[in-house]
Amino acid sequence: MAERLAEELSGMEGNLDEEEHREATFYRLEALGFRVGQGLAESLLRWKYIQFSRDRPRFTDNLDVIKFLCKDFWTILFRKQIDNLKTNHRGVYVLTDNTFRPLIRMSMSNRNEAIAKAQSYLWFPCGIIRGGLASMGINATVQAESSDLPSATFQIKTVQMAQPSPQPQQQLQQPKS
């Protein structure tokens, strides 16, 4: 059944080598998570907007958005806040969840094998994070790893949009009559 599900998620049938199959499944799960994250963030922001004053701006910078993600967004998804947030203040954020719910009941008979299998459980949450950030106006890449179960670490790198070069302003001329 798991093999059939993986084939359906990959969207490809036929003979694929294991790595291609794994990559196709990754992209599909991440895309599904992206859509879920977008919808959840939009709903949560709508609810927060109603709850708070309209005079107060929602977020002033990327760090405020990431804090919102760590507190409110993560609590809705996993019933707890992120345990640790680190940043270099240059667009890289590291979120650590020491008891990541999808990994709590994972068997650890062979530690290396368990950690390798845990990686596939992190693809969907990566998409959720990326989708949530995208709906709040932040273009980012998200990578996840689990080096010690049930802990999970998500690294978010915000993509800086190129600032358009200032164009010389043309002076408006009065039409001649």
Is the residue at 101 inside a domain?
yes
Give the pLDDT confidence score for residue 27 in this predicted structure. 94
Is the residue at 117 inside a domain?
yes
Q: Splitting the chain (177 residues) into consecutive groups of 10 residues, what average pLDDT does each group show? A: 53 69 91 97 79 60 94 94 96 97 84 86 96 95 93 93 51 51
Q: How many domains does the chain have?
A: 1
Closest by CA position to 126, among listed 162, 84, 104, 97: 97
* Domain carrying residue 25: 2-158
19 burial level (CB within 10 Å; 0-12, 13-18, 19+):
exposed
Is the residue at 171 inside a domain?
no
| Domain containing residue 43: CATH number | 3.30.1380.20
- Report CA-CA distances (Å) from 118 to 51, 70, 177: 37, 21, 75
Is the residue at 172 inside a domain?
no
Contact 93, 67 (CB under 8 A): no
Is the residue at 67 inside a domain?
yes
pLDDT in tens, 137-154: 999 999 999 988 899 999
Is the residue at 128 inside a domain?
yes
Is the residue at 177 inside a domain?
no
